[in-house]
Amino acid sequence: MTTLTCSGSGTAAAVTKLAQNKIISFPKSPLFNLNGNKSKIVFPKLKLTPSVSRSPSDLSPGDPLSPSPSPSPESLKYRLQSNETLYGLFLLSFSPTLAEISGLAGYDFVVVDMEHGPGGISDALACLHALAATGTPAILRLPESCPTWAKKALDLGPQGVMFPMIDSPEAAKEAVSYCRFPPSGVRGSAHTVVRASGYGIDEGYLSNYEEELLIMCQVESEEGVKRAEDIAAVDGVDCVQMGPLDLSASMGYLWDPGHRKVREMMRVAEKGVLGGGKAYLAGFAMPHDAPLEMKSRGYHMVSGAVDVGLFRSAAVEDVARFKMNLTDDADDDDDDDDDAWRERIKDADDKYWSE
């Protein structure tokens, strides 16, 4: 039995009576004061102290820090500045469950893909919630580079935002302006109530959002490759993300992103970005271009998988192995059949890869 006992000093304590008349007293509550025989609940004033802005997708614990114009140690920008190579995954399914699994698996970041995935802003929010539960930074890839999509995405509070089809430094400057409040940019302001600022609770948001946000511009056309160095030099562009599939399509090799001419064009773009001296190089691993090979060429962010592709390959292999075993009368051939099927899956992945 639990009772509330009052003392003459005007304080209250919860007391629990256990067997054998043992009593446990819980800490006295500062919210409960007594005034004579009448009691009332008093809500103290909350004193908010400025702190370094935290993205809602990052739930890593830490002591409050004074607001300073530098990324927090948990952020993607800080890790890039520390010369880390980050490995991530693209989420096309918009499944919060797969988002959570991806975070628990240990990916450094997850890109929620609104360009090629079926979901929009509200669907992305559920995925950001799932990633936040694992402390995994989220990046939102926009359907198109425009102020409206950028505004709605940024209000959700991702650590990064990715702009597709950036072909010139002028387009890159516009993308950066979509991420900045006036007078530095054109982003619409609702910072007092949106998730990015902790719904207005984070008083340090306006002082630090520029330093916390990772702005990524995709180069995925021949024209973009020619201007890659200038795009990488634009103030505010943190990463240039290479798009091998759209680049191969623009060159007439839609079904062959590993074509020699496409690879040569990719190298031109890579040298341009690295020569710009400001932006980091990011990209997709391909069957002909492994993550470690990309790291050796200067990539600091590598996306090595797509959730839909991972599930597709696992599901197709599982069903095919079962059906092959049904028709296989010779147990001695099982290992050979498995090896043959794995080779077929590898060939299929070499021919098909989805951003």
Instruction: Give, in degrees to the nearest 5, the angle at Cα 300 between 152 and 127.
Output: 35
The label of the residue with tokens 């304590």 reads: 13
> Is residue 250 within 8 Å of residue 224, measured between CB atoms?
no
Instruction: Point out the catalytic residue in the list 116, 129, 259, 288.
Output: 116
- Asked if the peptide bond before residue 183 counts as cis, ω within 30 degrees of 0, the response is yes
- Asked if residue 239 lies in contact with residue 88, where contact means CB atoms within 8 angstroms, the answer is no
The sign of the CA dihedral 146, 147, 148, 150 is: positive
β-pairing, 214-219 vs 160-163, is parallel
Tokens of 328: 């296989």
Active site residue 259: no
3-class DSSP assignment, residue 127 = helix
| 56/216 Cα distance (integer angstroms) | 19
Measured distance CA(285)–CA(292) in Å, rounded: 9
CB atoms within 10 A of CB 48: 11
Please spell the DSSP secondary structure of 280-346, one letter per residue.
EEEEE-BTTB-HHHHHHTTEEEEEEEEHHHHHHHHHHHHHHHHHHHHT---GGGHHHHHHHHHHHHH
Q: What are the distances in angstroms from CA 210 to CA 23, 28, 100, 189, 339?
A: 54, 43, 27, 14, 51
Q: What six digits make up the tokens of 204?
A: 């340090």
CA 34/CA 41 separation, integer angstroms? 9
| Backbone phi and psi for residue 302, each to the nearest 5 degrees, phi listed first | -130, 125
Catalytic residues: 116
